[in-house]
Amino acid sequence: MPSLSLSYQVIFALILGLHGWTLGTTVTNDSSVAAGKTFDYIIAGAGLSGLVVGNKLSGKGFSVLIIEAGPDASWNTEVFDAEGRKFGSETCSWKYPAYGDDGKPLSWKIDAGACIGGSTSINGMVWYRPTKAELDKLESLGNPGWNWDNLEPYMRMVERHIPSSPTQVAQGATSDLDVHGFSGYVNTSFPAPLRISRSVALYKEALPLVFPGLSIGGDLSNRPAVSSASTMYTIWYDPATGIQRRSSAADAYLWVPNQQRAKLTVLATHKVDRVLFDRDLTATGVAFLASNGTAVSPKRFRAYASKGVILAAGSLASAPILERSGVGKRSVLEPLGIKQLVDLPGVGANLNDQPGTATYALVSPYHQNDTLIVDEGGLFAPEISLVNMDELWPLTAASHMLDITSATALRSRAQRLVESGAAANIRGAEAVLNTTIDLITTHRLPIAEFLADGSGITLFAAFWPLMPLSRGHIHINTSNPLDYPIITPRLLEDPFDEAVAVAIARASRAVFDSAPFKGIVANPYHDPPIGANGTDAEYLAWYRKTAFGASHWVGATAMMPRHLGGVIDQDLRVYGTKRLHVVDAGILPFQLTAHTMSTLYAVAGRAADVIARCSF
Ligand SMILES: Cc1cc2nc3c(=O)[nH]c(=O)nc-3n(C[C@H](O)[C@H](O)[C@H](O)COP(=O)(O)OP(=O)(O)OC[C@H]3O[C@@H](n4cnc5c(N)ncnc54)[C@H](O)[C@@H]3O)c2cc1C
Ligand SMILES: *[C@@H]1O[C@H](CO)[C@@H](O)[C@H](O)[C@H]1NC(C)=O
Ligand SMILES: *[C@@H]1O[C@H](CO)[C@@H](O)[C@H](O)[C@H]1NC(C)=O
Ligand SMILES: *[C@@H]1O[C@H](CO)[C@@H](O)[C@H](O)[C@H]1NC(C)=O
Ligand SMILES: *[C@@H]1O[C@H](CO)[C@@H](O)[C@H](O)[C@H]1NC(C)=O
Ligand SMILES: *[C@@H]1O[C@H](CO)[C@@H](O)[C@H](O)[C@H]1NC(C)=O
Ligand SMILES: *[C@@H]1O[C@H](CO)[C@@H](O)[C@H](O)[C@H]1NC(C)=O
Ligand SMILES: *[C@@H]1O[C@H](CO)[C@@H](O)[C@H](O)[C@H]1NC(C)=O
C-alpha cells in the first residue's frame, strides 16, 4: 500500500513546503519499504523508547527503520482524547494473558500499547519525576554513567510544561517551575477544569490524618520535599475542539511537523520475529512478518542493519524476541527447537510490576449528584500520595525495618527467587533486592502509592506497594512470534509486599472514615465489605483476589553486570553479541517511586547518544 506513505509525505511536504521542500518521515503498512533493504539502524517497536531513539538517530543523519507490530491509531478518540478511553478497552492493547506459578491463567489480562506510540497511546498520562537517590542506584548496580546528574537534563529536554492558570492554582494544582522543562515536545499540564475539586480538597485534609508527616501541596516532581499533590498529566487543552488531548510519544516525536525525518521509515502492522546474526554474533538485521498473519508459516521478510539493531518492543516483548533469536536460558530454548547462541539466563527473569487494587466508599445520596464530589470519571486519580514506611506504619516501622535489613532474610529472599525462576542467580537477586531495600530504609523513599478519585456514586482509592520485592518471569512457549509469551507476574509473593498491601488497603478505609469526609461518605466500607475490624488475613485474601499489575512492567532485560544476571551492559549492548541493543522499560532492574514515563524518556534520550557513540 504505497498510498499511505505517499499521502503522509505529501502532507508533511506541504506543511514544510513553506520553509523549503523537505521530505517527511515515511509511515506505512507496506512491507516493501523494508523487505530486503539495508538501514543504518533497525528498531523493533514504535513505542516510547523506539520513537525517541529513532527520532534522535535519524536526526543525527543515520537511516533508521522502525518496525511496529500495531497500526497507526492516532485518529481514534480513545487514543487522542485524554478522556476518551473506555475502561477495559481493547483498542491499541495487547491484552496479554498472565499466569500463576501453577501455569493456570489469572483472571486479568495485561494492558500494553499495541499501536504507534506504544503504551503512551493508552496510558494514564500521569507525569512526575523519580528522585535522585533511586536514579543514582542504577549506577551503583554496576552501570557507570546511569545516574541522576546525567539523566535529569534529558528529562528536562523532553518536557514542554504548561504552567497552571490562576483558577487551577487556587484549586491546589501548582507546579514548581524549577523541576520542569519548557522546550521539549511532551506537553505536561493540569486538566482544565480540574476534576472533583471539593473531593480533592477533602483528600488533602484527610490524608495527613491517616499518614502522619505526609507533606501536601506543591509538585510531586519536587521530591522528597512534596509527597502528595494534585496530579499532572501528559496532556494539553485544545481550545479548537474543547478537549484535553493526549501528548503521546508519537505526538511528540513522530507527528510533530518540525520533527519530520527523510531518513526515518516506520513500518506499521509488522512484527519483529527475531534478530539475524552473522558467525561472530554481530546483529545484521531482523526477520519480520505481517502482524495479521494466521497461516502456520506466514511469509517472513528480512531487513538489514549496518550499524545496529535496537529492541524497543517493551518489557513484555523484547525478552521474547531475544529468546526467539537464540539468546536466553537453555531450558527455555531447547524444548522449542531454538538453537542457543548466547547463554544468558537473565533474559525474561526479574520481571516485576506493582500489585494494584482499589477500595470504594459510598457517597451519601445528597452528594451523589454533586460533580465537585463525584463525576463521570475522565482523567484518573486527581490527587496522588506517596507514602514511606514511617507514614504507613507510624508505630511499627522499626520492626518492619529489622525484617527487611537482615542479611539472612535477604539471602532467603534471593534463594526463593532463584528457585522460582524469577532470578538468574543468588548474588544478582541479592544485589537487586538490596538496592530497593536501601532506598526504602536508608533513603526513606515511599513504599506505597495512593491514588485518590471519585466517580459514579463512590469515592475510591487505587493503590499499590510502590517498590515491590516480588519478582516474576516471562518466556516464550513456542517459536511462533504470533503466539503470546507466558507471563508469570508472581505479584505479592514476598511477605514485605503483602504487609505493605494490607497496610495501604486498611489506610484507604481510614481515609474515607476520617473527619473531613463525615456527612459526605455514607459507608466507608462499601467495597470490599470488610470492616475496620477485618483481619489482616481477610484483607490479604481480598487483595490477592483483586490485584492487577499497575502497568509499570520492568526488569526482564535488566541493565546490570552479566555475572549478576544482567542482559545488557551500560552501553545497552546485549551480552555476548555485537551491535545488538535493548532500550525500553525492561532494562530497569527495579521499580522507581514514579510512574515510568519521565524516567524512560530520559533513558531513551541518553541511550540514543550512547548508541550513536558506539557506532564509530
Ligand atoms: C494502561 C497503562 C497505563 C499506564 N499509565 C502510566 C502513567 O499514567 N504514567 C506513566 O508514566 N506511565 C504509565 N504507563 C507506563 C508507560 O506507558 C510505559 O512504561 C512506557 O510506555 C513503556 O515504554 P516502552 O518503550 O518500554 O514500551 P511501549 O511504549 O509499550 O512500546 C513498545 C512498542 O513495541 C511494539 N511491539 C511489541 N512487540 C513487537 C514486535 N515483536 N515487533 C515490533 N513491535 C513490537 C508494541 O506494539 C509497542 O508499540 C502505563 C502503561 C499502561 C499500559
Ligand atoms: C494499515 O493497517 C491497519 C491495520 O490493519 C489498517 O487499519 C489501516 O487502514 C492500514 N492503513 C492503510 C493506509 O492501508
Ligand atoms: C495483512 O497485512 C498485510 C500488510 O499490511 C496486507 O497486505 C494483507 O492484505 C493483510 N492480510 C489480511 C488477511 O488482512
Ligand atoms: C502541545 O501543546 C501545544 C499547545 O499548547 C500544541 O500546539 C501542541 O501540538 C502540543 N504538542 C503535543 C506533542 O502534544
Ligand atoms: C441524582 O440524579 C439522578 C439522575 O439525574 C436522579 O434520578 C436522582 O434522583 C438524583 N439524586 C439526588 C439525591 O438528587
Ligand atoms: C546492601 O546495601 C547497603 C547500602 O548500599 C550496603 O551497605 C550493604 O553491604 C548491602 N548488603 C548486601 C548484602 O549486599
Ligand atoms: C505451552 O506449550 C505447551 C506445548 O505446546 C502446551 O501444552 C501448553 O499448553 C502451553 N502453555 C500455555 C500456557 O499456553
Ligand atoms: C465488624 O464491624 C462491623 C461494622 O463495621 C460490624 O457490623 C461487625 O459485627 C463487626 N464484626 C466483628 C466480628 O466484630
Q: Identify the residue with better confidence: 18 or 339.
A: 339
Percent of the chain with pLDDT over 70: 96
368 close to ligand 5 (CB < 6 Angstrom): yes
Q: Are 342 and 576 in contact (CB under 8 A)?
A: yes
Q: Please determine, for residue 10, whether its predicted confidence score (pLDDT) is greater than 90.
A: no
The closest-lying atom of ligand 1 relative to the alpha carbon of residue 481 is: 41
12 pLDDT more than 60: no
| Ligand 5 atom closest to Cα of residue 365 | 13
CA-nearest residue for atom 1, ligand 8, is 533
Q: Which ligand approaches the C-alpha of residue 532 most closely? A: 8
315-346: per-residue pLDDT in tens?
A: 999 999 999 999 999 999 999 999 999 999 99
Verify whether residue 473 is a known catalytic residue: no
Residue nearest to atom 7 of ligand 7 (CA): 477
Q: Tens of pLDDT along 528-567? A: 999 999 999 999 999 999 999 999 999 999 999 999 999 9
pLDDT at site 377: 85
Q: Which ligand is nearest to the CA of 370?
A: 5
- The residue whose CA has the least distance to atom 10 of ligand 4 is 187
Mean pLDDT lowest among 23-27, 150-154, 371-375: 23-27
Distance 175 CA to ligand 4 centre (A): 18
Helix (H) or strand (E) holding 451: strand 448-455
Q: Could you report the per-residue pLDDT of 98-121, keeping only the tens digit for each?
A: 999 999 999 999 999 999 999 999
Interval 384-393 mean pLDDT: 98
Q: Which of 8-22, 91-105, 158-172, 487-501 has the least mean pLDDT? A: 8-22
Is 272 a known ligand-binding residue?
yes
How much is the average pLDDT of 446-461?
Answer: 98
Dihedral (CA of 226, 231, 232, 234) sign: positive
Q: Flag whether pLDDT at 379 surpasses 50.
A: yes
Q: Is the CB of 292 under 6 A from ligand 5?
A: no
3-state secondary structure of 274: strand
Set of cell numbers at residue 340? 542457543
Nearest CA to ligand 5 atom 3: 369
3-class secondary-structure state, position 231: coil
Mean pLDDT of the chain: 95
pLDDT of residue 4 exceeding 50: no
What is the Å distance from ligand 8's center to 359 Cα?
A: 18
Looking at the predicted structure, is the pLDDT value of residue 13 above 60? Answer: no
Nearest to 447 by CA among 510, 405, 507, 391: 391
Answer yes or no: is pLDDT of 37 > 90: yes
Q: What is the mean pLDDT of residues 423-435?
A: 98
Average confidence (pLDDT) over 438-463: 98
Q: Is the CB of 269 under 6 A from ligand 2?
A: yes
Q: Which three cell numbers stand for residue 529?
A: 465489605
Catalytic residue, chosen from 19, 552, 563, 581, is 552
- Residue burial 223-250, b: 16+ Cβ < 10 Å; e: rest: bbebbbbbbbbbbbbeeeeebbbbbbbb
Q: Which amino acid is at 580?
A: L
Longest dimension (CA), the chain: 74
pLDDT in tens, 277-299: 999 999 999 999 999 987 677 88
The pLDDT-based confidence of 11 (bands split at 50, 70, 90) is low
At 25 the pLDDT is: 97
Ligand nearest to the CA of 2: 2
User: Residue 3's pLDDT band (boundaries 50, 70, 90)?
Assistant: very low
Query: Average pLDDT for residues 377-404, to the nearest whole number?
Result: 96
Ligand 3 contacts CB of residue 291 (under 6 A): no
Q: How far is the CA of 526 from the centre of ligand 4 (A)?
A: 41
Q: What is the pLDDT of residues 182-233, one digit of tens each?
A: 999 999 999 999 999 999 999 999 999 999 999 998 999 999 888 999 999 9
Q: Is 552 a catalytic residue?
A: yes
124 is in an annotated binding site: yes
Identity of the amino acid at 89: S
Q: Which ligand has the nearest atom to the CA of 130?
A: 1
> Whose CA is closest to atom 10 on ligand 5?
369
Ligand 4 nearest-atom number relative to CA 238: 4
**Looking at residue 225, what is its pLDDT?**
86
Pocket test for ligand 1, best of 451, 596, 598 (most atoms within 8 A of CB): 596
Q: Is 53 annotated in some ligand binding site?
A: no
Asked whether 442 and 496 are in contact (CB, 8 A), the reply is no
Nearest-CA neighbor of 200 among 460, 463, 452, 508? 452
**pLDDT score of 147:** 98
Can you tell me which atom of ligand 6 is nearest the CA of 140? 5
For residue 5, name the pLDDT band (cuts at 50, 70, 90). very low
Among residues 335, 353, 471, 474, the alpha carbon closest in space to that of 416 is found at: 471
Ligand 6, CB within 6 Å, residue ranges: 407, 410, 430, 434, 438
Q: Does ligand 5 have an atom closer than 6 angstroms to the CB of 364?
A: no
Q: Which ligand is nearest to the CA of 478?
A: 7
Give the confidence band of 7 by pLDDT, cuts at 50, 70, 90: low
Check whether 6 has a pLDDT greater than 50: no
Q: Is the pLDDT of residue 267 over 80?
A: yes
Give the tens place of pLDDT for each residue, 351-364. Answer: 999 999 999 999 99
pLDDT at 294: 74
Cα–Cα separations (whole angstroms), residue 287 to 176, 538, 557:
47, 50, 20
Nearest CA to ligand 5 atom 5: 369
pLDDT in the model for residue 614? 83
Probe target for ligand 4 pocket from 159, 165, 187, with the most ligand atoms within 8 Å of CB: 187
Residue list, ligand 8 pocket, CB within 6 Å: 525, 531, 533
Per-residue pLDDT at 20 exceeds 50: no
Q: pLDDT tens-digit profile of 473-498?
A: 999 999 999 999 999 999 999 999 99
Q: And the C-alpha cell for 48?
A: 516510547
- Averaged pLDDT, 465-469: 98
* CB 290 less than 6 A from any atom of ligand 3: yes
Atom number in ligand 4 closest to CA 247: 14
- Average pLDDT (515-525) is 98
**How many residues does the structure list for the chain?**
616
Atom of ligand 8 minimally distant from the CA of 531: 5
Residue 8 has what pLDDT?
A: 55
Q: Would the pLDDT of 616 be above 80?
A: no
